[in-house]
Each structure stands twice: as C-alpha cells, then as structure tokens.
Structure 1
Amino acid sequence: MKRRHIFSVLLPVAGILILIFLVSLRFLGQLSEERPGSDSPASSETEDSLPALSEGFADASDSVSSPDSNGSLSLEHCFIWVGDSRTAGMEEAMAEAEDGCLYIAAPGEGYNWFISSGLPALTDTMEVHPDAPVILNLGVNDYDNLKLYMDLYQELMEEYPDTSFFFLSVNPIDPGRCDNITNEEIGDFNAHLRQLDENAYIDSYTYIMVNEISTIDGIHYSPEAYRLIHDYAAEIITGLPEGTGPSHN
C-alpha cells in the first residue's frame, strides 16, 4: 500500500520534470535562431553600403577632369591675362567657370593704356601671384604701335626673368565688318610676337581659322568661342613638359 502511494506521487513529479525539460529545449532553440549571423539584417545593411561608398569615391575621382557646366575644361591653373575688349569678353565668359585666372583688361585700349594703367596693375598682380604665367593679348586696336609693343615685351622678359610670359596671337577679324585693322596686319603683328620667343607664342589665330570660329560683330567673339580660346591656351601651357616653355625663363 505504501509503495503504491509513493509511485502515485513520483509519477506526476516525473511528468512535470519532463515538461520543464522540453520547454527548456524549445526556449534554447529560439535563442539560437535569433542570434545575429552572416545573413542578419544588420550585416546585410553594412554589406549593401560598401558598393555605395565605392561608387561615391569613383564619382569624386571622375569629377576632377570632367568639363564644367559651361563646357570649359576644368584645369588647375592660374594665369594673368592682359588685354583689351577681347580679354574682357573672355573674363565675362569664364566668370562661372571658377578657373582661377586673373584678368586685367580695358575695352578699346592698347599700348598707351598698358603703359599708364595696365602695366602697374600687372606688376602688382605679379607680386601677389609670383608663379602665375602672364598671357599678353594686345594689339588689335593699335597696330601702328607694333614696334613699341615688341620693345616693351622684350624689356618685361628681361626685367622679370622668373616670370613666364606668353603671347597670345591677335586673332582674326571679319574684314567686311571691321576696318580698324586687316588680317594681313594681324599676321604681321603675330609674326613679330613669334620672333620674340617661339616657345612663348600661342597661335590661337590658326586654331580659330581651322575650326571656322567667326566673330559676332567683326572683331569680338561669342562667350563659347572665348571659352574655347581660353581652354586652347590653358591646355598648351599646362601641357608643357617640365623644363620647356618660354626660353626667356
């Protein structure tokens, strides 16, 4: 009788223990399934972000050499341009390009302005930017001062031997709409510029003729044309191998 009583007590206890054991196994199984692994959402989001970062670096790299919104090639440079209304037109055309160039220009002017106002402004700018190449582009308004220009340019090269002076050709006019100068006179002016220093002469005249770039009023060019002329000169100067360039340097 006593044994039967003990058995009747142990049987429910054993059942309870078995039930607790089964519940424990199920609980441990759920913990194992919820533990983060290689396919967890956190891991997946991290992996997905890696391609995005790579694409970001690639986009930043590509933007260095791409043309800007104005169509002007983004070149790292700082030139000092000196000239007349054509140079002033280039300054306006390049205003949004942020190319780093500096402009000293006076519409309708030439040698007399350069001596009295342009040259002092140039030397002041050269002191602030001693490594900046200087691009001179005068002469279309006063061909008669050809010799004075050549003598002055020669003096500048001798007085500032550490400055790279470049001479942008006087570019063509439309003879049917401009009677201030002829293309023959421009050709003579450019020939003298080339004789000053072959390595410092930038022949944009031929570039304009080959590409059939026309003036808008007989003497001035469109903003797009000025940007093309600017980029043509910039590519020549920035592309010069080390140790080459103006021989006066």
Structure 2
Amino acid sequence: MAIKSDKFFIEKQPYYKPQANEIDIATAAYEHNLPLLLKGPTGCGKTRFMEYMAWRLERPLITVSCHDDLTTSDLVGRYLIRSGETVWIDGPLALAVKAGGICYLDEIVEARKDTTVVIHPLADDRRTLPIEKRGEILTAPKEFMLAISYNPGYQSVLKDLKPSTRQRFVAIEFSYPEPELEAEIVAHESGIDETLAKSIPCVPWTPYTKPEGTGPSGGCKHEIAHPCRKVDTRRN
C-alpha cells in the first residue's frame, strides 16, 4: 500500500498554460504506468509542468536536481549513524516509490551514467527498485510515476542521454511559447502590467540552438515561460 507523504503534496494549483495536448499525454502515461521524459531548453516550463501534473493527479512530487556528484546512494538511500546506532535512510527515489508519488529527476544527463542506470528497472515493465545494500527489491505501486528531463541543445555530446535510457520513456518535447502568450505568462509570474511585459525585447531563436548574444539556453531574455509546441507521443 502506498505511504502518504503530506510534505510533498502541492496544495495550491500551479499556474500553467498548456500549448498542446501535453497534459493529456502525461495523464495517459500515468494511467498506463509509463515513465515520462521532458526535453527542451532551460526556462521553457518543464519543472512547472511537473508541479502542475502532480497537483492535478493529487500525488506527492519529489524533485531531484541532478549533478556530477550524484550517486546511486543519493537516490536510493544509505546507512547513517544516528544516536550511536546504524539506521537506514531512504533516498528520494525510494521515498517516491514507497509513497506512490512522482519522482522527477531534473536534468538527468548531469548525473553520472553509473548512477542513472538504477532507474532502468523502474522505467520498464518491471517497475522495481533494487536496494542492493539491504538486499531488497521495492515494487512500485500503480500510483508511482517516474519523470526525467534534460536539455538536448545545452548538453554536450558527452552528456547526451543514453539510448538504453531514452527508449524506455514517453517523450514530450517542450519549447518557448509564442510572444503573446509569453507576455501573458511573464505578466502573471512577475506581477507587472501585460503591456510592459509585451515591451520586453524577445530574441528570436530556433529550438535547441544558441543564438549569439543570448543566455545559455538561447531563446527569450525573460525565461519564465512554460511551453510546449511539439508533443512526441513515441517512446524514444
């Protein structure tokens, strides 16, 4: 039975403006126990989308910001000394499995390859999480969902997502919204007048390229946006 984790529930509806049928795709993936891959430039709304979906599905959301030093123990758990005793502390991935929540691994390619392999059995029909240090195998309840994200245009070739990982996921491709909608989002998020938001210069861009003079992800200067003009329903 799934364990409730009130700490990770999102009570207030996050502000999110859908651009296509990404909500329907993610909902269908959840209902069919399929993992989700969000790909797109920095600031296009991938994390906000996951917050919205967690609220919509009424599931706790546990987010992990991946980095070079992330280890398997950081995700799964480790033994620690507490009050002179050795105790096991679950990592965020194990917590999400036990809670029947959503585990969102943000910028998955930043983590080491030997670390991300641990998600493979969770991302296929086994839906299990081996905890080798305890000799246990956790089976994910139907409420659990695994989601990952990465930025194909920002990462180097050495940090691309492995095909053996990517092919397990239903992919949704995100990009920046059109200027009119972006101005609406910026106005809502910042509290400024929409007329002023429309006057903020927006640098033209193409998906996953870095126009000269822009930020690391390319695209508009005001990267507070959500959006998704392309939805890839294939498991790639």
The answer, yes or no, to whether TM exceeds 0.5 is no
Which protein has the bigger helix share? 1
TM-score, scaled to structure 2: 0.39
Q: TM-score, normalised by structure 1?
A: 0.37
Task: Tell me: higher relative CO, structure 1 or 2? Use CA pairs within 8 A at least 6 residues apart.
Answer: 2
